[in-house]
Each structure stands twice: as C-alpha cells, then as structure tokens.
Amino acid sequence: MSDANKLEGMRKILSKLEDIKNTQESSIDKINHVITDLFEAPDPKLEKVMEDAHQRASDNVDMVRDAIEEYEMRINKLSLQ
C-alpha cells in the first residue's frame, strides 16, 4: 500500500473517530436533558442511572479525543515523510 493510500485510509478512520466523539457528545446532551427533566419529576433511581451514564459517556469522549489527537499526530508524521 502506498503512503498516499495509507494516508487516505487513516483520514477515513479519523473521520469515523470524530463521528464517534460527536455521537457521545450528543448522548451527553440528551442525558443532560433527562437530568433536567428529573428536577420537575424526581426519581432517585433514574437520576443515579443518568449520572452514571453521563460519567461513562464523558469518559468515552475523553478517551476518543485522546485517540484522535494521537492518531492525528501519526497522520501528520506520515504526511511529512
């Protein structure tokens, strides 16, 4: 595989990683809406589930963001060769 083809494939993967990050951020937004709604109709069990889901989604965003940054560095390094 040529470097140009490899770069193209890596950029496609990078785009998918960005999509995953955006999806997780959207999930966080939706979870926040549910948490806000629970102020008017409290449900301690559901609140706990939403808090846990929020934390996990936030952790996922952080992990994917870190992966994106590292992968971008690899793409940049390869493109300079």
> What amino acid occupies position 15?
S
Which helix (H) or strand (E) element contains residue 1? none
User: Which residues, in sequence order, are CB contacts of 78 under 8 Å at separation 6+?
Assistant: 3, 6, 7, 10
User: For the residues 47-52, what does the mean pLDDT come to?
Assistant: 98
* Number of C-beta neighbours around residue 64 at 10 A: 19
Output the pLDDT for position 3: 78
List pLDDT tens digits, range 6-45: 999 999 999 999 999 999 999 999 999 999 999 999 999 9
Give pTM, 2 decimals.
0.86
pLDDT for 32: 98
